[in-house]
Amino acid sequence: MGKLVTEMLKGTLEGIVLAILSGRSAYGYEITAWLRDQGFSDIAEGTIYALLVRVEQRGLVDVEKVPSEKGPPRKVYSLNAQGREYLEEFWTTWSFLAGRLEQLREGGK
């Protein structure tokens, strides 16, 4: 979409990915494809992989290497307890921000 989305994704993309993982386990390539399908048309592959490495290092997800019939083995990520806790925090923060924004939008009309 453009620069605006890119900047807005900073700080939210992590939550988005964790939210996806809260529903089901998934691997990088899959997540990227899904996001592109959902309208984040120009999400960069590298971005997702780097993000996954980050959340893994922070201990928010568990990883399992699963062989694929169509290429190299997949690194399947799943949200663990710590990750769920973090995701809760994320939603709280998001709600706060979204609330302020909504208020501003109303007031601005």
Partner DNA sequence: TACCAGTACCTAGCAACACGAAGTAGCTGA
Partner DNA sequence: TCAGCTACTTCGTGTTGCTAGGTACTGGTA
Nearer to DNA, 13 or 79 (CB): 13
3-class DSSP assignment, residue 63: strand
Angstrom distance (rounded) from CA 43 to CA 106: 30
- Under the binding rule (CB under 8 A), the answer on residue 51 touching its own copies is no
Minimum separation from the CB atom of position 100 to its own copies (A)? 6
Pick the binder of its own copies from 36, 38, 65, 82 (CB under 8 A): 38
**CB neighbours of 12 closer than 8 A, spacing ≥ 6?**
94
Residues that bind DNA (CB under 7 A): 5-7, 9-14, 27-30, 42-47, 49-54, 68-76
